[in-house]
Amino acid sequence: MRTIPNVLALARAAAVLPVVLLIGEPAHAWWALAVFSAAALTDAVDGPLARRLQAVTPLGAFLDPLADKILILGALAALLGQGVVEPGLVLIIFGREALAIALRSAGLIRGISIDVSTYGKAKTVAQAVAVALVLLSVCVPDPGVATLAAASLVAAVALTIASGVDLLVRAPLLLGTGQRSAHVSAR
C-alpha cells in the first residue's frame, strides 16, 4: 500500500546505499553523517504521520522497524569495514535484529501484529544516535568525540540486549507456546 509513511520507511531503507558508499570514502564522512541523520530522523515522522492520516497498516508496521534495521546495520557494517567499530558490538546488534526480523515475520504469517515496545523504541534511538556519533568521530578525529561515540555505542548495545531479552520473553506468544495475543511488543 502506497502511503506517505510507507514511502518514508522505504526511503529510509534505501538511504543505506549512499551512506555505505560515502562511508567508504573518508573524505565524504560529513556527507555520510548528513544522509544517515536525515534518514534516521524520518523514523520520528512516519509513525505519527501514519496515525494522523489514519494510514496505519500491517505492511507499514512491518516496514518501519525493518527500514531502521537496514539503515543502522548497513551503516555499522560499513563502519566495521573501515575498522571504526568493534566486531563484537556489531555482532550483538546484528544478532538481536535478526531475531526480531524472524519473530516479526512469524507474527506476520500468523496474523499477529508486533507493536513497538518501550525497549524497542529506546534501542532504535540509541542505535541511531550511536551510529551518528561514530560517524561524527570519523569526521572529527578528536579523542573526546571518539570516547563519546564509544560510550554511546556501548549504551546502545546494552539497550539492544535488554530489548532482545524482552523480545525473547514475549516469543512464546509468537511461537504458539503461550497464550495468544493480538498484539505483542517488540521492535
The whole-number pLDDT of residue 28 equals 95
Q: Can you give the residue range of the structural domain that contains 92?
A: 4-185
The whole-number pLDDT of residue 138 equals 95
C-alpha cell at 22: 560515502
The whole-number pLDDT of residue 174 equals 57
Query: SS3 of 115, please?
Result: strand
Across-strand partners of 114? 184
Q: Report d(CA 32, CA 117) in Å as an integer.
A: 29
The whole-number pLDDT of residue 185 equals 44
The whole-number pLDDT of residue 113 equals 67
The whole-number pLDDT of residue 173 equals 63
Residues across the chain: 187
User: Shortest CA distance to 186 belongs to which of 71, 105, 127?
Assistant: 105
Pair 146, 85: CB distance under 8 Å: no
The whole-number pLDDT of residue 183 equals 47
Q: How many domains does the chain have?
A: 1
What stretches of 60-115 adopt beta strand conformation (E)? 113-115
Under-70 pLDDT residues of the chain: 1, 113-116, 172-187
Half-sphere exposure of 23 (CA within 13 A, CB side): 29
Predicted structure pTM score: 0.89
- Output the domain CATH number for residue 131: 1.20.120
For the stretch 53-79, pLDDT in tens is 988 887 888 889 899 999 999 999 999
